[in-house]
Structure 1
């Protein structure tokens, strides 16, 4: 009996994962025709879809996506010079330790704001112990050694189980390299001499404008707490780092894109992630964070970035009851004063941001009975700012109201602004004329800054109040808005714009480079120029259009001197306004006019001549329109203040 050999079974190739899942025939050519037809050729042959939420198919295995993200983050980190915002909480980039040399020659390292691996510091070794009781279980830390950077015993605030649960609602997410305060302080805090210099710059540039960190309590509460033997607290360390970051951003000896400020700001965020408990110091840190974000560059600036953080801070303010009077609660005077200052600083910030973004403020004015703090070392500047915020609250309430308010309400608020301006002390009033001593005397310079800043916010409030009625006048009475029943709003808006341009011009004359680094000065200036351009474009035949165009040219010149990116937008608006006036002149058969319009393709200005009547003589120019011609020779220099000095009668 012959035995026939059984044929060897050749194993057929497997179908792709998707065809096996759908139980359909696969043509075994990858990507198969079925996957190509269904639009999932990228995952063929090994990729497989599974059911996700809302009947949406998702990829079962995402390992290759993680690999692609890691490669993209690595490539992005290599091609960018500065810290990119997408790499702040990167999942795959490796933390790189780099050294930085201080002005004293001391080298201290800094970890960039990328990566999520924990940085293992070799400067201190800390043991942990766990303990529990009948009500809860928490994790603590024993201090068994000292930091070599400070040479002092430091209590390490490692986030406990309960603190981590609390940080789930914290605006500062706990996704940083360091899990303890010792590493953060040793890694980022500069030497004492450098820190003192940065703090001095902060108080010269930010301290006069905001009283959120008082100069008399800075040394004992914050600076000495960090650089003297004491138990470190995360929130106080964060406040110190934020003050240093703001000082570094305003240090004119450093470039505006200096990385030191960003590194200090990132370290402060790490500290706040360790301790997000509600306290006055935490609110101070939120305010300082907002000042840094609003004054940052393209990767950090913007009101939308700060808005959720500000609202979280206002929620803490309301939860702590800072908006209520505590004079009879038995607290000491210094604590009460600090609570009042922090509340009015946060509330004023919230009101201004809400008005700028067209949103409602957090705490209504009728729910506030916290007294306005009075101090005798700032000419009453901060107290007057707090009082002005009450009028801003009324403007914001009218701004967000669904039903339109009556013009009588507008007139009533405008009367309050006029009354507020007339009641200002002489040091802060507009009656004081500029003086050349404002350039040399530090005390006179600070007083001038405070005066101009308060008047700037006052005129911005008047502009925000009348803007809606101002536009209504331009819409209904485009031939001449002065014939409108709401002409007071038209005049008030134009006068506010003129005052804003004049105030910013004076600030640029005092310290142009410093003003160019602060966002709010040129923000208000841009708002004023926008209203002036709107007035000319929509009512070119108005009796005030020529003088309005002259004021617009003054504002554009300031942006040209400061070399701001907004200059191109304003020049386009100015060109549109000039063409609107030319069109009106042609139709009204006026004499020949000569307007100076910058050429977008040429650095020099050319003259646009429009001959309305062919027999008109070229010398018969409108004397009023000739006043709008501006000397544009200052645009090639960074801050040439010769024209501004000449205007004030100063010696350049």
Structure 2
């Protein structure tokens, strides 16, 4: 091989020096130029490789010499410069070419922080040439693009539906930026090379937005067939988003769009009541954020104030979901606070401002609400939720004094809420001016009630001659009742309002479960009749929901099981007054047929066996309930719930 041939490694990827000849520059090899085909400017290029003539792929000698000289000079100046690998791949990452731990981050912070490279929707196609084969990741792009509607008007309508109905309440994307990104994406040239440059990180975000939008778009239909089509289309977009999230690191580095997509996939699972799976997706989204250094505050990186606040908000949303989902499921969370160095968001909204304007913007007091206020306050609640899991639900049992201490922290957080977010009797005069306030209020209230119920749940069934656990009894019934009241109101919403409501953290936990257990435990208490009335209305409204899926239906069945057990206990008590000689196994008969009014609702769904209560079970559920390591089984596990409720009723 000649010396000149050794030098020409990538003749088309570097620009020419001033010594190059003037006029039109050659952009194709000799073979592609003769056939008037687009060349990828590699040596040999992909076209010549496909035609089986890589040895005929040639470039003009003068151009080879110039570009070879430039390549050597560029390599000398670049060295191992921080972040160079990811910059070359078009990724908006700035921290280096591998994941770093907190020790490496600390060392980098002490030095001058690198600047963020400019973000672009389309990454350099030169970085994707290695994926040009049917067996590689590139083939996945064709499949994903094939799932998009062919009509741009359709996609435009779906995007606008999401931006106008959901985005402003849940802080997903900046509308103007997203519209311009979509215009750039749709305006690309359709061809092998341009498709190779599609940013899958942004495409994942587009897919999950479409997953929400098709449900909103089908909300007005009354046809079951049309609703079924909307649900199926939504699931296709949802799975496309998850697929794009998984494979995009094979093409690009991480990006904020990828983190946003992971966050919205998690919210989608909460919306559909799949809490267990949401634990996996929020963990993946958190890793994507950590890989970009989001666990280190933007001020430490020397980022602009606008970029810093954007990252803080996104991190805080992930943080709240991570802590609350883990607490609900009794599983480890993904974020270790002692390995993070990040501040809570400021009470200021910088989206739509330039970097210069953002630097001059003054943070507002809490008395003046902004779109960031809910994130700021939610971040504080998430820290308490994480501490509750660490100290009260860890590997070692916690004392009741510690439970009281954590309850005081929750109450202190509640007291510092501004008037418009107050848990009791909130000030609603600002709701008309700030349309997001009612929804943000619901998010904070539901998260607070969830944390307090979870904290006191192990002590709900405990009795004490000194009434020591009265705080837990009162806290559970107070928070569960307040939360159910809001849920009953939400069941009268339309599809858009209901989706805004259920995208909060609350939908992974149902306060109706707690109220049902309270009723079973105390069937003769003064408030039990009112609890049963509310639970019956709750189940009735849920069953009328045309969008109710199998996960929601499973929750309804569990609550109905509590209703039937409680009603049966009350009736059995009345019968025992009339027939005192009743034998113990007959205390709670088969309750499915005991109340004719509820028989159509339950008979086809739950098979209760009367002899369950007369047996000697190996597992005593009241004791298991009191175990701090116990977490609610999935609602779909109806047999477990049946056994638990039956045994709690038996030991009443």
3-state secondary structure, aligned to 1:310: helix
Range with greater deviation from structure 2 (483-492 or 394-403):
394-403
1:484 equivalenced with 2:467 (yes/no): yes
Deviation string 1:317-358 (CA, Å, 9 cap, x unpaired) is 334331222314221222212221221122222112211211
3-state secondary structure, aligned to 1:355: helix
1:553 equivalenced with 2:536 (yes/no): yes
Superposition TM-score, scaled by structure 1 size:
0.58
Aligned length: 441
Runs of at least 5 residues in structure 1 that lack an aligned partner in the other structure:
1-123, 142-151, 165-173, 478-482, 605-652
**Alpha carbons 2:519, 2:532 under 8 Å: kept:** yes
3-state secondary structure, aligned to 1:471: coil
In 1, the alpha carbon distance for the partners of 2:529 and 2:127 equals: 66
In 1, the alpha carbon distance for the partners of 2:509 and 2:473 equals: 18
Deviation string 1:420-473 (CA, Å, 9 cap, x unpaired) is 2222222222455799998xx7x6764322222221111111111111111334
Q: Which one has more relative contact order, counting CA pairs under 8 Å at least 6 apart?
A: 2
In 1, the alpha carbon distance for the partners of 2:597 and 2:41 equals: 69
1:412 equivalenced with 2:405 (yes/no): yes
Deviation string 1:501-537 (CA, Å, 9 cap, x unpaired) is 1111222334367527976689759722221121122
In 2, the alpha carbon distance for the partners of 1:437 and 1:510 equals: 21
In 2, the alpha carbon distance for the partners of 1:237 and 1:243 equals: 10
**Alpha carbons 1:226, 1:237 under 8 Å: kept:** no
Deviation string 1:511-569 (CA, Å, 9 cap, x unpaired) is 36752797668975972222112112223344543444344334334434436524333
**Correspondences of 1:482-521 after superposition (within 5 Å):** 484-511=467-494, 514-515=497-498
> Which of 199, 208, 212 is the aligned partner of 1:242?
208
**Correspondences of 1:169-318 after superposition (within 5 Å):** 179=139, 181=141, 184-185=144-145, 188=148, 191-215=151-175, 217-220=177-180, 222-228=181-187, 232-251=198-217, 252-253=219-220, 255-257=226-228, 258=230, 259-269=232-242, 271-272=244-245, 273-276=247-250, 277-296=253-272, 302-318=274-290
Deviation string 1:58-90 (CA, Å, 9 cap, x unpaired) is xxxxxxxxxxxxxxxxxxxxxxxxxxxxxxxxx
Superposition TM-score, scaled by structure 2 size:
0.58
1:347 maps to which residue?
319
**Correspondences of 1:431-470 after superposition (within 5 Å):** 431=424, 446-470=436-460
**Alpha carbons 1:325, 1:370 under 8 Å: kept:** yes
In 2, the alpha carbon distance for the partners of 1:554 and 1:384 equals: 32
**Alpha carbons 1:410, 1:465 under 8 Å: kept:** yes
In 2, the alpha carbon distance for the partners of 1:393 and 1:450 equals: 21
1:170 maps to which residue?
none
**Correspondences of 1:65-84 after superposition (within 5 Å):** none
1:388 equivalenced with 2:381 (yes/no): yes
In 2, the alpha carbon distance for the partners of 1:432 and 1:216 equals: 36
Alpha-carbon spacing, 1:248–1:437, altered in 2? closer, same or farther (3 Å): farther
**Alpha carbons 1:462, 1:496 under 8 Å: kept:** yes
> Which of 538, 548, 565 is the aligned partner of 1:576?
565
1:200 Cα deviation (Å)?
2.7
CA RMSD in angstroms comes to 4.4
In 2, the alpha carbon distance for the partners of 1:486 and 1:335 equals: 48
1:537 equivalenced with 2:520 (yes/no): yes
Alpha-carbon spacing, 1:492–1:407, altered in 2? closer, same or farther (3 Å): same
In 2, the alpha carbon distance for the partners of 1:509 and 1:335 equals: 39
Runs of at least 5 residues in structure 2 that lack an aligned partner in the other structure:
1-36, 46-70, 90-120, 190-196, 350-369, 580-593, 604-652
1:223 Cα deviation (Å)?
2.9
Greater helix fraction, Structure 1 or Structure 2: 2
